């Protein structure tokens, strides 16, 4: 009989197979005379979008005779661990599309090359989220995809104009609740911690709060953060949400016409509009005192181990041309790209609400504490634990955020 493998050994073997596959893909032969540049992105594994991205890259490959981009497919579930393992072994793909938390972790670990000499300041009309591509004054990435947050709503259940402020929002949510329907939905359990954090950030940012200041000092117990947490609790206490429902459940309920409003990203809004049964989906700015909301931001970067930095830079410059950006935005659907690309008449006809999401780019803020990005997972857990005490235990928001602030200072930052 074969001996049983421990969970750790099985994981190591799986990771080894993935890394071997990644190396094999990176060594594919290229047309004569072209320099091979490998590009790894979990998006290549997505049905539909992956094929469109390969075709988009194919147009770059056909556009010149010096560089050949070869897509490398690694599933999302193992992407970060696979790429970090490769990078730690002085290998890996030349170009990597990370999510923002992994991007900051890779910069901190010196796994990414500074590319200020490749993409010079002012060379392209980059939009606001580009500011987050620099760490310590140096550029390490270029925006590949931005998904903004706004309020999406069921026009049949809301009955009237979308709420313009928080009081109107709460009244509308109460008015739409009843007969098996709910006025609103968000996450409020530790099991949904990752999504809970994004939902909470939208409230905190919308009420003018931030998790840290520009110098990287935590501001978790600042008045505006407390105000945002208190608003989160008001919604919870108003009995307008399906308490305990995870995102998959309440998004399905929305599509079935049972949820009036939710604040979600553009990708989710597109899915909801597609799946909506018998009603029209609308979108509006989130009903908070300020327009600031979170965003999902994905950079593309050059591996510090790459021997093909100049060739990879050629692709990045092509990617930022208007036509390439226009096609990439079409591939992303309801997300935006590095430069402002007007929507086509066909897109607006398909998604009349899309401009609401596009206009939010100027107000979007990453769901990470500024200057403490690599500490974000620990900070997130501490804050969410305290917010659950507020929601379910009746703890005062100010006390809970004071406790969170002190825990972050002493446990995470060792101050």
210, 350: one domain? no
CA distance 195 to 212: 20
pLDDT value at residue 306: 98
Confidence of residue 19 (pLDDT cuts 50, 70, 90): very low
- Averaged pLDDT, 35-61: 96
Domain that holds residue 129: 24-146+296-365
Considering 350, 365, 380, which residue would you say is the last residue of a domain?
365
Residue 34 lies in a domain: yes
pTM for the predicted model, two decimal places: 0.89
pLDDT tens figures, 249-302: 999 999 999 999 999 999 999 999 999 989 999 999 999 999 999 999 999 999
Given pLDDT bands bounded at 50, 70 and 90, which one contains residue 35? very high
* C-beta of residue 319 within 8 angstroms of C-beta of residue 142: yes
Mean pLDDT (whole number) for 160-188: 97
End of a domain among 344, 365, 386? Answer: 365
Give yes or no for residue 379 having a pLDDT over 60.
Answer: yes
One domain for residues 55 and 115: yes
Average pLDDT over residues 374-379: 96
Q: Is residue 18 in a domain?
A: no
Asked if 244 and 177 sit in the same domain, the reply is: yes
Distances (CA, A) of 23 to 41, 71, 231, 322: 14, 12, 50, 32
The yes-or-no verdict on residue 22 having pLDDT over 60 is no
Q: Are residues 39 and 159 both part of a single domain?
A: no
Asked if the structure places residue 324 within a domain, the reply is: yes
The verdict on residue 264 lying in a domain is yes
Mean pLDDT of all residues in 176-188: 97
- Regarding beta strands 293-302 and 364-366, do their DSSP bridges make them parallel or antiparallel, or are they unpaired? parallel
CA atoms of 297 and 311, how far apart (whole Å): 24
In this predicted model, what pLDDT tens digit does every residue of 191-227 receive, in sequence order? 999 999 999 999 999 999 999 999 999 999 999 999 9
290 and 171 in a single domain? The answer is yes
Determine the average pLDDT of the residues in 139-147: 97
Share of the chain above pLDDT 90, in %: 89
157 and 252 inside one domain = yes
**Would you say residue 21 has pLDDT above 90?**
no
What's the mean pLDDT in 390-404? Answer: 98
Q: Is residue 319 part of a domain?
A: yes
Q: pLDDT digit string (tens) for 317-368? A: 999 999 999 999 999 999 999 999 999 999 999 999 999 999 999 999 999 9
Pairing of strands 134-135, 138-139: antiparallel
Q: Are residues 195 and 53 in the same domain?
A: no
The answer to whether residue 196 is domain-embedded is yes
**Number of domains the chain contains:** 2
Q: What is the mean pLDDT of residues 390-403?
A: 98
Q: What is the pLDDT, as a whole number, of residue 30?
A: 54
Whether residues 77 and 168 share a domain: the answer is: no
Q: Which two tokens stand for residue 390?
A: 């507020």
In order of 50, 92, 170, 193, the CA distances from 287 in angstroms are 35, 44, 9, 23
Q: Indicate the pLDDT class of residue 31, thresholds 50, 70 and 90.
A: low
pLDDT tens digit sequence for 327-338 = 999 999 999 999
Say which CATH number the domain at 158 has: 3.40.190.10
Within a domain: 387:
yes
Token pair 């670990």 is found at 109
Same domain, 132 and 184: no
For range 32-43, the mean pLDDT: 92
Percent above pLDDT 70 for the chain:
92
Q: Is residue 23 pLDDT above 50, yes or no?
A: no
Same domain, 35 and 68: yes
Query: Are 266 and 408 in the same domain?
Result: yes
Q: 228-258: buried (b, 16+ CB within 10 Å) or exposed (e) per residue?
A: bbbbbbebbeeebbbeebebeebbebbbeeb
> Is residue 86 pLDDT above 80, yes or no?
yes
| Residue 184: pLDDT over 50 | yes
Question: Both 110 and 257 in a single domain?
Answer: no
- The pLDDT value recorded for residue 32 is 61
Q: Is 10 part of any domain?
A: no
User: Tell me, what DSSP letter sits at residue 14?
Assistant: H
């Amino acid at each position: 009989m074969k001996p049983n493998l421990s969970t750790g050994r099985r994981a190591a073997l799986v990771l080894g197979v993935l890394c071997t596959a990644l190396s094999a893909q990176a060594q594919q032969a290229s047309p004569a005379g072209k320099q091979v540049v490998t590009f790894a992105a979990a998006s290549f594994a997505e049905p539909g979008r992956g094929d469109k991205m390969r075709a988009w890259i194919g147009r770059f490959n056909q556009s010149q005779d010096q560089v050949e981009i070869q897509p490398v497919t690694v599933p999302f579930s193992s992407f970060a661990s696979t790429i970090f393992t490769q990078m730690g072994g002085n290998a890996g793909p030349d170009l990597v599309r990370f999510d923002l938390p992994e991007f900051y972790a890779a910069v901190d670990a010196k796994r990414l090359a500074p590319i200020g000499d490749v993409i010079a300041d002012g060379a392209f009309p980059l939009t606001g989220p580009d500011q987050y591509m620099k760490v310590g004054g140096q550029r390490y990435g270029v925006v590949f995809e931005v998904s903004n947050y706004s309020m999406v709503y069921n026009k049949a259940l809301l009955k009237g104009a979308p709420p313009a402020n928080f009081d109107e929002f709460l009244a509308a949510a109460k008015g739409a609740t009843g007969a098996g329907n709910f006025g609103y939905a968000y996450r409020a359990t530790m099991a949904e911690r990752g999504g809970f954090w994004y939902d909470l950030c939208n409230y905190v940012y919308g009420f003018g709060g931030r998790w840290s200041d520009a110098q990287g000092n935590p501001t978790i117990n600042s008045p505006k953060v407390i105000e945002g947490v208190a608003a989160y609790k008001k919604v919870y206490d108003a009995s307008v949400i399906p308490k305990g429902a995870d995102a998959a459940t309440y998004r399905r309920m929305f599509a079935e016409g049972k949820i009036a409003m939710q604040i979600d990203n553009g990708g989710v809004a597109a899915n909801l509009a597609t799946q909506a049964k018998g009603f029209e989906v609308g979108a509006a700015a989130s009903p908070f005192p300020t327009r600031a909301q979170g965003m999902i931001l994905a950079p593309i970067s050059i591996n510090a181990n790459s021997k093909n930095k100049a060739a990879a830079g050629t692709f990045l410059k092509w990617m930022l041309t208007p036509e390439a950006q226009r096609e990439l935005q079409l591939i992303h659907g309801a997300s935006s790209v590095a430069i402002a690309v007007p929507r086509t008449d066909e897109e607006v006809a398909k998604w009349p609400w899309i401009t609401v999401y596009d206009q939010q780019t100027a107000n979007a803020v990453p769901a990470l504490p500024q200057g403490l990005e690599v500490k974000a997972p620990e900070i997130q857990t501490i804050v969410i634990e305290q917010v659950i005490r507020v929601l379910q235990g009746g703890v005062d928001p100010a006390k809970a955020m004071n406790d969170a602030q002190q825990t972050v200072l002493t446990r995470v930052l060792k101050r």
